[in-house]
């Protein structure tokens, strides 16, 4: 059910031409002055890409976030759904990794992801049968707000207090729990209100209608 996120997924880096195509794909959803901040998740690290808007530097800049799925799933959660103490430890680890990058996020930006781990978190939080349905039917790219993430995290935290009594709405996957934790802390510490959900991006994407 939950796709692995190999570090190879962080490569290759996107080019200036790729970002021009992505801006064209986003259409009226993004303004010319806005930067794009894109997050990809790996097993050993994550990657933040910043592509500046009008009059900014044309070349996308890449930053490594020094935490990955393995540290949370295997070492912190022990390949199980997290207990209360493990969840608290995970929060501290993610905070330490993401907080230094907060200053790199442009004040006017669109935060996006095409990462399969984060898209699965979004699919569940939005109550969608699959992401493709959302991309086909929305007429615009779906958006996951911080409130929906906080609601999912609250359920996870309640289960963590009583790990032997799983919450009915929480997927019993340590990878899902780790991805949810990472996205929640990133939205909070980078002061982002939402993430826009991309299909796997390539320059030949067609813009959504409407």
Among the listed ranges 3-12, 105-114, 154-163, 181-190, which one has the minimum average pLDDT value? Answer: 3-12
Instruction: Give the pLDDT mean for 28-42.
Output: 93
Mean pLDDT value across residues 148-175: 88
Cα–Cα distance, 134 to 126 (Å, whole number): 10
Backbone angles phi, psi at 83, to 5 degrees: -80, 175
Q: Return the sign of the alpha-carbon dihedral for residues 114, 118, 124, 129.
A: positive
Alpha helices in the chain (DSSP H): 16-26, 69-70, 84-98, 116-125, 131-137, 146-161, 174-189
Domain 14-197, architecture per CATH? 2-Layer Sandwich (3.30)
- The pLDDT value recorded for residue 129 is 85
Q: Is the pLDDT of residue 127 over 80?
A: yes
Q: Compute the distance between CA of residue 20 and CA of residue 2 in angstroms, rounded to an integer.
A: 31
- pLDDT category of residue 186 using cuts at 50, 70 and 90: very high
Asked whether residue 5 carries a pLDDT value surpassing 50, the answer given is: no
How many CB atoms are closer than 10 A to CB 20? 13
* pLDDT exceeds cutoff 70 at 138: no
CA distance 74 to 88: 15
Predicted TM-score (pTM) above 0.85: yes
Confidence (pLDDT) at 174: 96
How confident is the prediction for the chain on average, in pLDDT? 86
CA 23: distance to chain centroid?
A: 19
């Amino acid at each position: 059910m939950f796709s692995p996120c190999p570090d190879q997924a962080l490569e290759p880096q996107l080019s200036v031409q790729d970002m021009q195509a992505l801006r064209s794909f986003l259409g009226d959803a993004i303004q010319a002055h806005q930067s794009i901040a894109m997050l990809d998740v790996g097993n050993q690290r994550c990657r933040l890409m910043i592509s500046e808007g009008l009059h900014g530097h044309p070349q996308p800049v890449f930053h490594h976030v020094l935490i990955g799925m393995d540290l949370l799933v295997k070492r912190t959660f022990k390949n199980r759904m997290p207990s209360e103490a493990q969840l608290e430890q995970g929060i501290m680890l993610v905070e330490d990794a993401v907080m230094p990058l907060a200053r790199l996020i442009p004040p006017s930006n669109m935060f996006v992801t095409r990462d399969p781990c984060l898209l699965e978190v979004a699919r569940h939080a939005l109550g969608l049968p699959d992401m493709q349905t959302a991309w086909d039917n929305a007429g615009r790219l779906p958006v996951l707000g911080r409130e929906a993430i906080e609601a999912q995290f609250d359920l996870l935290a309640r289960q963590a207090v009583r790990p032997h009594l799983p919450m009915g709405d929480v997927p019993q996957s340590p990878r899902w729990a780790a991805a949810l934790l990472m996205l929640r802390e990133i939205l909070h510490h980078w002061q982002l209100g939402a993430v826009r959900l991309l299909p796997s991006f390539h320059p030949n994407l067609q813009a959504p209608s409407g």
